């Protein structure tokens, strides 16, 4: 029977999803609304439109519409690199000697090297449609900035990227890819913004954080005519666009009557995981099926496993709306670990609500274990995985090894969000035995959480 399932399950063009799915439409407990940081009242569309594109504001605030048709222009862009393959990890299964069946959805088949292009192209499209000149953003590890610069060049928009300083220094080649697509790249915190200057005064020599970079990008967007700010994760609109990952996965599995037992994804701000699980979570919420859904985060930035479910600022500069989410505090600057894309202090409010309601669970893993898993995977499956993605690999391998002990033939699906060609400094540290596992102390987390806004 198993032989009938190909190594890679693709979809034909006419089987590709025609609409994004909004998981919030099936949630009884909706994610808490974004609040104005000054008044603590729910953000009105007009307030959000100062920062974000109008169409994206509508998507952000819509908790009831189940499906949003994907505009034709975006679908034709998707066709250049999608569907992404759903791969049966036969070689990994054999190597582990597990009875588990392992599948991964591979999002690294585009120049940006990750799933982030799925939302970048949508956000650039709506910015263009609104007649804007350009957009500003932040980038951590650089994948989002790369994806956005590709999307902006496709629609002929200007793109200003604030890149977390530690990544800017560790990954000079990322910057050059962005510049190839016409973006300007500034290391953050920088002296080019008011908030950047303030942060540098308070934390001289800081290696930066996504929270700082967001504050700078928002400041520039709101001060420049014809510009808006765009964000690559965390927000509802991003999870909506990323639902393409889960919809394709489900369509591919349905084609062969495969029902997964477990779905595993790494979680930074929650967009790839939110996208991957959305149609499955929808079934779970409607009581039609049950799945064990697992978020994997680094021990150095454990928002779900050690954070607090509370309203918090989305950025260090405290200019963005407040979101109710699992957070480590907007002041939390994680140790410079090598999974830059998982270094955000908070988590998507949709996933936070689902987690709090018990619809999914979370685990945290140390980075040396993650790189061991990455190497093990690369050697048998051929793909050099991104450190972020390797968090999911680590847990998929652990679960498959549990099946080996119990003899259970579980079907495990995980999200392989991207490739690690720009992360070779991290691989080098790992190979040289210079990689450390940084675990924040309870005091550090408590200190940062003590600065949550008083509601």
Judged by beta carbon, residue 187 or residue 270, the one nearer ligand PLP is 270
The residue from 269, 317, 329, 440 that contacts ligand PLP (CB under 6 A) is: 269
Nearest to 157 by CA among 130, 124, 180, 179: 124
Q: Does 334 bind ligand PLP (CB under 6 A)?
A: no
* Binding range to ligand PLP, per CB under 6 A, among 19-27, 261-269, 357-365, 445-453: 261-269
Q: Out of 245, 266, 365, 413, which residue is the one contacting ligand PLP (CB under 6 A)?
A: 266
Tokens encoding 256: 């062969």
Among 123, 167, 233, 278, binds ligand PLP (CB under 6 A): 233
Binding mask 290-309 for ligand PLP (x = CB under 6 A): --------------------
Q: Are strands 184-188 and 158-164 parallel, antiparallel or unpaired?
A: parallel
Which residue stretch of 127-135, 215-223, 359-367, 384-392 sits at the interface with ligand PLP (rule: CB under 6 A)? Answer: 384-392
Among 389, 403, 414, 435, binds ligand PLP (CB under 6 A): 389
**338: contact with ligand PLP by CB under 6 A:** no
- Residue 401's CB is within 10 A of a number of other CB atoms, namely 13
**Measuring CA to CA, how many Å separate 311 from each of 47, 69, 447, 452?**
18, 31, 16, 7
Q: Which of 110, 209, 271, 352 contacts ligand PLP by CB under 6 A?
A: 271
Query: Smallest gap, in angstroms, from Cβ of residue 414 to ligand PLP?
Result: 12
Closest CB to ligand PLP among 298 and 329? 298
**Residue appearing with tokens 């190979």:** 431
**Which range in 16-24, 152-160, 178-186, 381-389 contacts ligand PLP by CB under 6 A?**
381-389
Whether the Cβ atoms of residue 371 and residue 351 lie closer than 8 Å to each other? no
Sheet holding 8-9, edge to edge: 8-9, 86-88, 101-106, 411-416, 262-266, 292-298, 361-365
Report helix, strand and coil shares of the chain as percent, to nearest 5. Answer: 45, 20, 35
Residue choice 186, 353, 417, 448 for contact with ligand PLP (CB under 6 A)? 417
Q: Where are the beta strands (DSSP E) in 192-273?
A: 227-229, 262-266
Nearest residue relative to ligand PLP (C-beta): 418
Per-residue three-class SS string for 347-400:
CCHHHHHHHHCCCCEEEEECHHHHHHHHHHHHHHHCCCECHHHHHHHHHHHHHH
Q: Are 452 and 396 in contact (CB under 8 A)?
A: no
Binding footprint of ligand PLP on the chain (CB under 6 A) = 114, 116, 141, 143, 233, 266-273, 341-342, 386, 388-389, 417-418
């Amino acid at each position: 029977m198993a032989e009938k399932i190909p190594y890679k399950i693709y979809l034909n063009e006419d089987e590709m999803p025609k609409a994004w799915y909004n998981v919030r439409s099936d949630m009884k407990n909706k994610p808490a609304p974004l609040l104005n940081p000054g008044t603590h009242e729910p953000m009105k569309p007009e307030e959000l439109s100062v920062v974000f594109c109008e169409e994206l504001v509508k998507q952000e605030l819509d908790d009831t519409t189940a499906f949003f048709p994907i505009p034709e222009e975006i679908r034709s862009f998707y066709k250049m690199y999608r569907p992404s393959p759903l791969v049966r990890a036969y070689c990994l299964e054999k190597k582990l000697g597990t009875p588990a069946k392992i599948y991964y959805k591979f999002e690294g088949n585009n120049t940006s090297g990750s799933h982030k292009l799925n939302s970048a192209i949508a956000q650039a499209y709506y910015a263009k449609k609104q007649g804007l000149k350009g957009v500003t953003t932040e980038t951590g590890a650089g994948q989002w900035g790369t994806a956005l610069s590709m999307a902006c060049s496709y629609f002929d928009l200007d793109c200003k990227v604030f890149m977390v300083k530690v990544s800017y220094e560790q990954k000079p080649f990322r910057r050059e890819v962005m510049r190839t697509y016409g973006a300007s790249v500034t290391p953050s915190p920088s002296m080019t913004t008011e908030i950047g200057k303030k942060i540098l005064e308070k934390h001289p020599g800081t290696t930066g954080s996504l929270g700082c970079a967001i504050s700078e990008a928002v400041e520039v967007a709101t001060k420049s005519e014809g510009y808006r700010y765009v964000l690559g994760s965390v927000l509802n609109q991003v999870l909506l666009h990323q639902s393409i990952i889960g919809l394709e996965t489900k369509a591919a599995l349905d084609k062969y009557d495969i029902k997964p037992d477990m779905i595993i994804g790494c979680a930074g701000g929650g967009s790839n995981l939110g996208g991957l699980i959305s149609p499955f979570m929808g079934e779970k919420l409607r009581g039609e099926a049950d799945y064990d859904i697992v978020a994997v985060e680094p021990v150095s930035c454990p928002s779900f496993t050690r954070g607090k479910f509370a309203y918090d600022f989305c950025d260090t500069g405290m200019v963005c709306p407040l979101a109710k989410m699992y957070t480590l505090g907007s002041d939390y600057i994680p140790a410079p670990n090598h999974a830059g894309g998982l270094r955000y202090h908070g988590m998507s409010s949709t996933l936070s609500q689902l987690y709090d309601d018990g619809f999914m669970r979370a685990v945290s893993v140390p980075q040396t274990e993650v790189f061991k898993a990455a190497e093990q995977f690369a050697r048998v499956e051929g793909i050099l995985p991104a450190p972020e993605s390797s968090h999911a690999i680590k847990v998929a391998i652990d679960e498959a090894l549990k099946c080996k002990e119990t003899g259970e033939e579980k079907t495990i699906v995980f999200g392989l969000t991207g490739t690690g060609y720009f992360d070779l400094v991290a691989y080098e540290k790992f190979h040289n035995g210079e990689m450390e596992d940084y675990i924040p102390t309870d005091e550090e987390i408590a200190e940062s959480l003590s600065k949550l806004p008083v509601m």
